[in-house]
Amino acid sequence: MLASRIAAFPALSVGAFCSRTGTALASLFMKPTRHDLIRQCSTWADCARKQHGDDAIRTGTLFGISLSSVDSKAANAIFEFFWPYALKQGWSDVYLGSPVPGLRGWLSKNPDITVAQYVRSERQGLPLDPQLRYYFKKGFRKIVAIKDNYFPHEPSLDVGVLILGKVPLSGLSFIWKRVPLPWLQRMKKLFFACL
């Protein structure tokens, strides 16, 4: 599966590796999309599937097929690497399909709460669900849709949440497209400050 994801969109496949062992620590796979297309998809598989014409889509929007990590520093390194590249390419919006792993446990203790109430619940200004909270801290702050049978995930009761994040500083894309990539890469710490 990894090889097919890389082959589909090599420029949108990012990995972080241990400098000593070469072991993969984190990966991010994306594909170009359009707002209307991604919102019509009812399952993660529909969102992730490579469709005829995907490579020709000229858009500022991406769908994050998967973000996997065994190391939080490696996940941060992926974003540090990717944000400057995204600015240079003119991408401004990134959709993700997120599980809500706290849902089953929360509903078992609070059976009168709806799925939507749980998904939109906050504690101290952050999402109650741990996965949504993680993505919120990475800049994915808009809940676009809550989808039943989105993907098989028992703790989430197969519910997925389509979330949207903005590439930091992408509002100035007309400038970033003209700035050399090495200059943008020097600004990588600034991107996290803007989240």
pLDDT tens for 35-90 read 888 999 999 999 888 776 666 567 889 999 888 889 889 988 898 888 888 888 88
* 23 occurs within a structural domain: no
Residues spanned by the domain of 131? 2-9+29-193
* 88 occurs within a structural domain: yes
pLDDT tens for 90-135 read 899 999 999 999 999 999 999 999 999 999 999 999 999 999 999 9
Number of domain units in the chain: 1
| DSSP secondary structure, the chain, as one string | -HHHHHHH-GGGEEEEE-TTT--EEEEEEEEEE-HHHHHH--SHHHHHS--TTGGG---SEEEEEEEEES-HHHHHHHHHHHHHHHHHHT--EEEEEEE-TTHHHHHHH-TTS-HHHHHH-EETTEESSHHHHHHHHTTEEEEEEEETTSS--GGGTT-EEEEEEEPTTGGGHHHHTTS-HHHHHHTHHHHHHT-
* 132 occurs within a structural domain: yes
* 21 occurs within a structural domain: no
* 127 occurs within a structural domain: yes
CATH number of the domain enclosing 187 = 3.40.630.30
What pTM value is reported for the model?
0.88
* 116 occurs within a structural domain: yes
